[in-house]
Structure 1
Amino acid sequence: MVAPVKIGILGAAGRMGRALRTEIAKHTDAELVAALVAPGTKLLGTDAGGVAFTSNMRSALGICDVLIDFSNPKAAIDAALMMFDTSCRTLITGTTGYSATEEKALEQAASAITLVKSGNFSIGICVLENLVTKAAAAIPKDWDVDILDIHHNQKKDAPSGTALMLGRALEAGGQKPSDIVSLRRGGVIGEHSVFLSSEMETLTLTHTALDRAVFAKGALTAALWAVGQDKGLYDMGDVLGL
């Protein structure tokens, strides 16, 4: 019998951290061994689902096969750099809001670790990216292209990582978005639309997330795939073979 992959979560008490803990508990091929939260958090030492919440990053990286991150850019980069001299050399990050400097730091870290980075781990969004690139390449250059990005009212970054991914997908097809409109309202998990419009017609490509578990499933899929992969920078398209 193959031993389960040992998973650590960075940002274990957040929305995605909770969803990940629930998802991991359903699997026999994955085991939660570390639940990381910020120092000083009231949850420290309490039960996170078979393990205690901790803020000791180095200790956690000493027992994990892979770390899944949904925290903040600084914490993610700190974890990536700490992996250089720990036994865990695989990082899955779904954190968004990186600055250009932080993006470069992550890319440099990927020269020494296995890093899967995505602004959205849902299979549907990954497929949407491919469709957007194909549509952008097929339409005339004089069409208007816009992105609508809707999330819950607690989301800090705007545009979201998903909206930026879709913008890059458009550029890969030879189009540049005229505008990215970001709305933050209620408890919306995630709704993203790309509008490709001429004076006579509009093509709309839309993805709606109905349950946050879809991101947890995707992140765990990426984690199980990444263990044993060569060092380097990957995305969800690599995980799914798209």
Structure 2
Amino acid sequence: MKIAIVGAAGRMGRMLIAAVLAADGADLAGGSEAAGHPDMGRDLGELIGADAVGVTLTSDPRALFEAADAVIDFTVPTATAAHAMLAAESGTALIIGTTGLDAAQQAAVDAAGEKTVIVQAANYSVGVNVLLGLVEKAAQILPDAYDIEVLEMHHHHKVDAPSGTALALGHAAAAGRGVVLDEVACKARDGIVGARPRGEIGFATLRGGDVVGDHTVMFAGPGERVEITHKASSREVFAGGAVRAAQWASSQQPGVYSMKDVLGF
């Protein structure tokens, strides 16, 4: 399967290159970056400190989509929305790890799903997807006397907050409670905010150092606290999951799928 990477010269992009090169049944079809990037024209193997693979970094994402069976996108929302349109035009599967899309950008992704296969997930780690299931189940079992708080920490380069994974965990907790997250979420507290409303789902965001991704969901009840935690120590777990999703996409009909679909949860 021919897999390409947009945003290939970034931290996650380089990890994705390595994951594609290491995967059985996958060939690296190409990689792109914005025009003017200092690594433009470099061999993608050499870009990650490996042997040359005969594929160079390009600034033409359209050509990338036309050459690949699937494209993996861990970029930024504006770019991802544009890539979704290219995926729809070319019929190429698009694997989206970008978070923070607004309503219009998400609509572009959903529209592309009518014409090609889209896999979209806030997190491609198998462990995080297990965590999502556990959080939803715990929220079903524990009454709303148990306050739910989602705590996340990432490296200081991360630009969106709360993280997409934290929001996914909030949605899982809300689903377990049978409520809509946007109606009960509290994403920041500052000053005299008053007592915590019953049923609120709170978020706390930490940034610093080189933390790959830590997420904890707390159920704080009378006399006890249940905490469910996942800590990622390497981006390899995200890259490997994204390549797995790309290979899975090859046998699917057009639509927008999640990592739960890929894993068969």
TM-score > 0.5, shorter chain as reference: yes
For the pair 1:185 / 2:181, whether they are aligned, the reply is: no
Structure 2 match to 1:96: 99
User: Hey, what does 1:83 align to over in structure 2?
Assistant: 87
* Alignment match, 2:190: none
Identity %: 41
Q: Does the 8 Å CA contact 2:170/2:201 hold for their aligned counterparts? A: no
Partner of 1:234: 257
* Aligned amino acid, residue 143 of structure 1: Y
Q: Work out whether 1:127 is the aligned partner of 2:150.
A: no
* Structure 2 counterpart of 1:64, from 61, 64, 68: 68
Task: Work out which of the residue numbers 23, 30, 44 in structure 1 matches 2:40.
Answer: 44
Q: Name the structure 2 match of 1:108.
A: 111
Larger Rg belongs to: 2
Give the secondary-structure state (helix, strand or coil) at the position aligned to 1:95. Answer: coil
Please tell me whether the aligned partners of residues 87 and 116 of structure 2 are also in contact (alpha carbons under 8 angstroms).
Answer: yes
For the residue of structure 2 that corresponds to 1:173, the secondary structure is helix
2:15 and 2:235 in contact (8 A); partners too:
yes
User: Alpha-carbon deviation of 1:141?
Assistant: 1.7
Deviations along 1:109-153, one digit per CA (max 9) or x if unpaired, are 211111000111000000000000000000012211000010000
- Report the 3-state secondary structure (helix = DSSP H, G, I; strand = E; otherwise coil) of the residue aligned with 1:147: strand
Question: Structure 2: how far apart are the matches of 1:157 and 1:241?
Answer: 29
Match of 1:137, SS state, is helix
Give the AA of the match of 2:17: R
Question: Separation in 1 of the partners of 2:230 and 2:236?
Answer: 15
Please give the root-mean-square deviation of Cα atoms over the aligned residues, in Å: 1.2
Partners of 2:41 and 2:92 lie apart in 1 by 25
Partner residue in 1 for 2:28? 32
State the alpha-carbon separation in 2 of the partners of residues 89 and 59 from structure 1.
11
Alignment of 1:162-177 (within 5 A): 162-174=165-177, 177=200
Native 8 Å contact 2:84 2:108 kept in 1: no
- C-alpha distance in 2, partners of 1:104/1:33? 28
More off after superposition, 99-108 vs 122-131: 99-108
| 1:194 aligned residue | 217
Q: Secondary structure of the equivalent of 2:123? A: coil
**Corresponding residue number in structure 2 for 1:16:** 12
Query: Offset at 1:107?
Result: 1.5
Q: Please state how far the C-alpha of 1:225 moved relative to its aligned partner.
A: 0.4
Name the stretch that deviates more: 178-187 or 98-107.
98-107
Q: Calculate the TM-score normalised by the size of structure 2.
A: 0.87
Corresponding letter in the other structure for 1:38: A
Deviation >4 Å, runs of 4+: none
1:68-115 CA distance string (max 9 Å, x none): 0011111111111122332x4200010111112212221122111110
| 3-state SS in 2 of match to 1:214 | helix
Structure 2 CA distance for aligned equivalents of residues 213 and 84 of structure 1: 28
Structure 2 distance, partners of 1:118, 1:143, is 28
How many angstroms apart in 2 are the aligned matches of 1:215 and 1:84?
24
Q: What SS does the aligned partner of 1:62 have?
A: helix
Tell me the secondary structure at the aligned position of residue 238 of structure 2: helix
Q: For 1:157, which of 151, 156, 160 is the aligned residue? A: 160
Q: Which runs of 5+ in 1 are unaligned?
A: none
SS at 2:230 equivalent: strand
Aligned length, in residue pairs: 237
Secondary structure at 1:96 match in 2: coil
